Amino acid sequence: MDAIECMKTRRSVRRYTEEKITKEAFDEIIDVARMAPTWKNSQTLRYIVVSDRAVIDKIKDECILGHEGNGKTLTSCNTLVILAQVNGRCGYERDGSFTTSKGAGWEMFDAGIAAQTFCLAAHEKGYGTCIMGIFDDTKVAEAVNLPEGQTVCALISIGVPKFIPDPTPRKEVEELVRYI
Ligand SMILES: Cc1cc2nc3c(=O)[nH]c(=O)nc-3n(C[C@H](O)[C@H](O)[C@H](O)COP(=O)(O)O)c2cc1C
């Protein structure tokens, strides 16, 4: 699969078979995700691969703000990746001040690039993913014993797709672009 095909055929997958993904495959996916660009090459993203059913269920029952759809996704997946970030580096100067008016916004910018890189690497290997943003980050941090000084950025369910969802609509290029 070439890069453009990979980007164009990735879908958010919310239903999975019971097939498990090996540690070797996760290492290969994260080996790709770590190549994502980061603020001053700060490389603050961390990946917590959760396959313990009890922990996934705890997150499902206590940490997703009652979101029914995400609950079903978490029931279906047998692995959930917690994308976390080391706080206070991305977007900051060495003296702790912000470099730009976007402040700590660059932290989520880096997290987004890493998440997409992770999802594309997984897709290329035949795995489906769904990035989930609806959760209580303090509760998720507690559920996975996140080290002090890190924050949960996103949940990413992953597995072998039960089926490939239809593509979701996109705006036309003309609506999105302005040439000067
Ligand atoms: C930051 C972010 C948060 C998202 N949160 C959720 C979520 O909580 N639950 C969910 O089912 N999908 C979530 N999605 C997936 C989007 O709904 C999905 O990407 C969008 O509908 C386009 O579909 P596609 O990914 O199949 O192209 C999220 C995506 C992003 C980028």
* pTM exceeds 0.85 for this model: yes
pLDDT at 123: 98
Gap between the Cα atoms of 117 and 64, Å rounded? 24
Mean pLDDT of 106-112: 98
Nearest-CA residue for atom 9 of ligand 1: 132
Confidence of residue 147 (pLDDT cuts 50, 70, 90): very high
What are the helix (H) ranges across the chain?
3-9, 23-33, 53-62, 68-76, 105-124, 137-143, 173-176
Ligand 1 pocket test target in 64, 131, 140, 153 with most atoms within 8 Å of CB: 131
CATH number for the domain harbouring residue 145: 3.40.109.10
Q: Ligand 1 centroid vs 67 CA: distance in angstroms?
A: 13
Q: Ligand 1 centroid vs 97 CA: distance in angstroms?
A: 32
Mean pLDDT of 51-74: 97
pLDDT at 52: 98
Confidence of residue 93 (pLDDT cuts 50, 70, 90): very high
Structural domain for 19, as ranges: 3-176
Give the count of domains, the chain: 1
CA angle 145, 152, 169 (to 5 degrees): 140
